[in-house]
Chains A and B, each alone.
Chain A
Amino acid sequence: MESTTALRHTPLFDRHVTAGAKLVPFAGWEMPVQYEGVKEEHLAVRASCGVFDVSHMGEIQTEGPGAQALLQRLLSNDVSKLDVGDAQYSVLCKEGGGILDDLFTYRLGEDSYLTVTNAANHEKDLAWFERHAADFECTVGDRLESWAMLAVQGPDARGIVAGLAEAELPPRMRAERVPLAGDLDGVTALVCGTGYTGEDGVEILVEPGAAERLWDALVAAGAVPAGLAARDTLRTEVCFHLYGNDMDESRNPIEAGLGWCCKEDTGFIGAEAVAKARSEGTAEKLVPFAFTGPGIPRQGNQVLVGGEPAGEVTSGTFSPSLEKGIGMAYVRADAAEPGTEIEVDVRGKRRAARIESRPLYDPTKKES
Chain B
Amino acid sequence: MALINDRFKPGLITTTVDFLFNWARTSSLWPLILGTACCAIETMAVGISRYDFLERYGMLYRFSPRQSDVMLVSGTVTYKMANVVRTIYDQMAEPRWVIAMGNCATSGGPFPTYATVQGIDEIVPVDIYVPGCPPTPEAQSFGILKLMEKIKRDTIAKTTVDVEGRKVAA
Chain A partners chain B: no
Interface set of A (CB-CB < 8 Å, partner B) = none
